[in-house]
Structure 1
Amino acid sequence: MMERFGGKGRRTARTANRQKLKAIASSASNTWGLFLLVLLLGYALVEVPRGLWNGSKPGYTLNYSYFKVAKLSLDKCEAEETVDDILESLQIATISIGPGHPFHCNLETIFQRIPAELKDRMNRRQLPDDTPTDTPTEKSLIRLHRQTIKALQTLQRIETQWGILVDKIFDLEDVAKNQVSHDRRFKPSFPIHRSLPFRIIYNPVVEWYWKCIVKDYVLKIAAICAGCLSVAVVWSEVTFFNKSPVLSLFAQFLNLAKRNYDYFTIEVLSTLIIAYLCYCAYSTVLKIRVLNLYYLAPHHQTNEYSLIFSGMMLCRLTPPMCLNFLGLIHMDSHIIKTHILETHYTQVMGHMDVISIISDGFNVYFPMAILAFCLATYFSIGSRLLSMLGFQQFLDDDEFTTDLVDEGRELIKRGNNKLINH
Structure 2
Amino acid sequence: MKTYFKASKLMTEKADAEENLEDVMEEVRKVSESIKYNHPLRKCIDTILRKCPVDYQEKMGRNMDDYEDFDDKQNTYPTEKSLVKLHKQVIYVVQRHNRTRVQWQILLQQAIHLEDVAKNETSLSHQFVHSFPSCEPAGWFCRYIYTPTVEWYWECLLKPWFYRLLSVVLTLFSVAVVWSECTFFSTRPVLSLFAVFIQLAERDYNYLYIEMACFITIFFLCTCVYSTVFRIRVFNYYYLASHHQTDAYSLQFSGMLFCRLTPPLCLNFLGLIHMDSAISHQQKLQTAYTSIMGSMRVLSFIANGFYIYYPMLIVILCIATYFSLGTRCLNLLGFQQFMDDSEMTSDLIDEGKELIRRGETGIMITVSGQNQTNR
Give your verdict on TM over 0.5: yes
For 2:352 and 2:180, locate their aligned partners in 1 and report how far apart those are by CA, in whole Å: 42
Out of 197, 213, 224, which is 1:280 matched to?
Answer: 224
**Mapping of residues 129-140 of structure 1, within 5 Å:** 134-140=76-82
1:121 and 1:175, CA in 2 relative to 1: closer, same or farther beyond 3 A? farther
Between the aligned residues of both structures, percent identity stands at 50
2:113 maps to a residue whose letter is D
Contact 1:87 / 1:122 at 8 angstroms: preserved in 2? no
Deviates most, 189-198 or 217-226: 189-198
1:203 and 1:297, CA in 2 relative to 1: closer, same or farther beyond 3 A? same
Out of 147, 164, 170, which is 1:226 matched to?
Answer: 170
Contact 1:76 / 1:158 at 8 angstroms: preserved in 2? yes
Out of 55, 60, 67, which is 1:117 matched to?
Answer: 55
Which residue of the partner structure matches residue 85 of structure 2? 143
For 1:73 and 1:124, locate their aligned partners in 2 and report how far apart those are by CA, in whole Å: 31
Say whether 1:108 aligns with 2:46.
Answer: yes
Structure showing greater relative contact order (alpha-carbon pairs closer than 8 Å, 6 or more residues apart):
1
Contact 1:185 / 1:208 at 8 angstroms: preserved in 2? yes
Out of 110, 127, 133, which is 1:185 matched to?
Answer: 127
For 1:179 and 1:266, locate their aligned partners in 2 and report how far apart those are by CA, in whole Å: 44
1:275 and 1:380, CA in 2 relative to 1: closer, same or farther beyond 3 A? same
1:94 and 1:270, CA in 2 relative to 1: closer, same or farther beyond 3 A? closer
Out of 253, 260, 267, which is 2:204 matched to?
Answer: 260
1:193 and 1:276, CA in 2 relative to 1: closer, same or farther beyond 3 A? closer
Contact 2:5 / 2:338 at 8 angstroms: preserved in 1? yes
Which residue of the partner structure matches residue 313 of structure 2? 369
**Mapping of residues 8-47 of structure 1, within 5 Å:** none
For 2:207 and 2:33, locate their aligned partners in 1 and report how far apart those are by CA, in whole Å: 77
Which residue of the partner structure matches residue 91 of structure 1? 29
Which residue of the partner structure matches residue 253 of structure 2? 309
2:130 maps to a residue whose letter is P
For 2:60 and 2:46, locate their aligned partners in 1 and report how far apart those are by CA, in whole Å: 15
Q: What CA deviation, in whole Å up to 9, does each residue of 1:383-412 have, x standing for no partner?
A: 111111111111111111111111111111
* Structure 1 SS opposite 2:336: coil
Say whether 1:397 aligns with 2:347.
Answer: no
Q: What CA deviation, in whole Å up to 9, does each residue of 1:219-253 have, x standing for no partner?
A: 11111000000001101111111112211111122
Say whether 1:176 aligns with 2:123.
Answer: no
CA-atom RMSD in angstroms: 1.9
* Structure 1 SS opposite 2:244: coil
Which residue of the partner structure matches residue 183 of structure 2? 239
Which residue of the partner structure matches residue 56 of structure 1? none
Out of 13, 16, 21, which is 1:78 matched to?
Answer: 16
**Mapping of residues 207-218 of structure 1, within 5 Å:** 207-218=151-162
1:136 maps to a residue whose letter is P
Q: Post-superposition shift, 1:123?
A: 7.8
For 1:95 and 1:273, locate their aligned partners in 2 and report how far apart those are by CA, in whole Å: 61
Q: Post-superposition shift, 1:421?
A: 2.5
2:260 maps to a residue whose letter is R
For 2:232 and 2:152, locate their aligned partners in 1 and report how far apart those are by CA, in whole Å: 34
1:107 maps to a residue whose letter is I
Paired residues in the alignment total 353
Q: Post-superposition shift, 1:134?
A: 4.9
1:74 maps to a residue whose letter is T
Q: What CA deviation, in whole Å up to 9, does each residue of 1:49-98 have, x standing for no partner?
A: xxxxxxxxxxxxxx111111111111111111111011211222243233
Q: What CA deviation, in whole Å up to 9, does each residue of 1:185-223 have, x standing for no partner?
A: 111111136123431111111111111111111111111
Question: Structure 2: any 5+ residue segments left out of the alignment?
Answer: 64-74, 367-375
Which residue of the partner structure matches residue 158 of structure 1? 100
Q: What CA deviation, in whole Å up to 9, does each residue of 1:96-123 have, x standing for no partner?
A: 2333444333322222222222345668
1:121 and 1:334, CA in 2 relative to 1: closer, same or farther beyond 3 A? same
For 1:346 and 1:102, locate their aligned partners in 2 and report how far apart those are by CA, in whole Å: 59
For 2:197 and 2:141, locate their aligned partners in 1 and report how far apart those are by CA, in whole Å: 45
Q: Post-superposition shift, 1:373?
A: 0.8
Contact 2:50 / 2:57 at 8 angstroms: preserved in 1? no
For 1:384 and 1:193, locate their aligned partners in 2 and report how far apart those are by CA, in whole Å: 39
Contact 2:17 / 2:96 at 8 angstroms: preserved in 1? yes
For 2:190 and 2:85, locate their aligned partners in 1 and report how far apart those are by CA, in whole Å: 63
1:76 maps to a residue whose letter is K
* Structure 1 SS opposite 2:129: coil
Out of 256, 277, 281, which is 1:333 matched to?
Answer: 277
Contact 2:178 / 2:314 at 8 angstroms: preserved in 1? yes
1:188 maps to a residue whose letter is H
Contact 1:88 / 1:122 at 8 angstroms: preserved in 2? no
For 1:286 and 1:325, locate their aligned partners in 2 and report how far apart those are by CA, in whole Å: 21
TM-score (norm 1): 0.80
* Structure 1 SS opposite 2:279: coil
Say whether 1:412 aligns with 2:356.
Answer: yes
For 1:220 and 1:193, locate their aligned partners in 2 and report how far apart those are by CA, in whole Å: 25
For 1:256 and 1:151, locate their aligned partners in 2 and report how far apart those are by CA, in whole Å: 57
2:292 maps to a residue whose letter is V
For 2:89 and 2:352, locate their aligned partners in 1 and report how far apart those are by CA, in whole Å: 30
Contact 2:184 / 2:191 at 8 angstroms: preserved in 1? yes
